[in-house]
Structure 1
Amino acid sequence: MSYQHILLAVDDSPISYAAVEHAEKLALALNSKITVMSVIAVDPFKGVDFYKVAPAVTQYLFEAEKNALGRLKDIQETLIHHGVSTVETKVIRELPPATGILEAADELGADIIIMGSHGRTGFKKFFLGSVAQEVLAISPLPVLIIKSAQHTDS
């Protein structure tokens, strides 16, 4: 099977940069297009009066989007500099991360999703969930999960 359009889902973690390296190698080998994307989601504030925290949430979203756009631009420039012919970026707002990734893959007509996994295990995985695991379980597309080499969770 040929992967002509790679959806590369990144966040601000070091494992995302390992996923970038894998996506780059695959894109160069197959002459694929890459769309690099991030999801900016708001976590619900349970038991907090929204009107008191609204300015903080607005500022958080502004900063999160600014940081995501900068990170995506840096990754895009690096991939182009390394020879990937077509690299686009996309930011998804206000959706749970797995939902945003899957909707972007469908909207863009991606052939494969590449993303990192933080490698959480045990209780932390249960409590925090795993975006990579959710995408892998639901996606109709192939998903390449790049796992962290080190497991610092105990």
Structure 2
Amino acid sequence: MYTHVLIPTDGSEFAQAGVIHGLSLAKEHGARVTAITATEAPGGQFAYSSDLWTLGETEMAAYERDQHREAEAILAPVKASAEQLGLEIETVHVPDRRAAPAILDTARKCGCDIIVMASHGRTGMSRVMLGSHTAEVLTQADIPVIVFR
């Protein structure tokens, strides 16, 4: 039924539930896997470079190297687990993007037919203040999304 599973992860314990179930689903269906992590640009969602201090070239290069290393550290165990299961896997790091748009764009570009991800289970004010990447993916995806908590 499924031929290409997208598994987003931020490397957290919460995200691991989605990884495990995504790999299991891929194994069950003989599907390929794309694992993705996204890293945001420095400054946060409410900072504008014209209003605040910005990173210089050296600091920005160091930040980008650190984000790349972090992404590799997040994706390497997913890749190893997939390979142990005999699954074909590609890993993708999307830099300087919020997670939800990166997930949705990657699903489209890679031709994935399902997204399997975890939810941190935030509710109430923490969800409003922090936003919910999972909710954004759920409401905007044009393919099925399985969410694990």
Please report the TM-score for the alignment, with normalisation by the length of structure 2.
0.88
- C-alpha displacement of 1:33: 0.5
Within-5 A mapping of 1:1-154: 2-42=1-41, 43-44=44-45, 45-46=47-48, 47-50=51-54, 53-54=55-56, 55-84=58-87, 86-147=88-149
The whole-number CA distance in structure 2 between the counterparts of 1:113 and 1:90 is 14
Identity of aligned residues (%): 28
Supply the RMSD in Å over aligned alpha carbons.
1.5
TM-score (ref. length: structure 1): 0.86
Separation in 2, partners of 1:62, 1:117: 28
Match of 1:114, SS? strand
Unaligned runs of 5+ in 2: none
Shift of 1:57: 4.7
User: Would you identify which runs of 4 or more consecutive aligned residues in structure 1 move more than 3 Å?
Assistant: 53-58
Aligned residues: 143
**What is the identity, as a one-letter code, of the residue corresponding to 2:96?**
E
Question: Aligned partners of 1:135, 1:56: CA distance in 2, in Å?
Answer: 32
| Cα shift at 1:114 | 1.0
Please report how far the alpha carbon of residue 97 of structure 1 lies from its aligned counterpart in structure 2 after TM superposition. 1.2
Contact kept, 8 Å, 2:37 with 2:74, in 1: the verdict is no
1:107 and 1:77 map into 2 onto residues whose CA distance is 23
SS in structure 1 of the partner of residue 117 of structure 2: strand
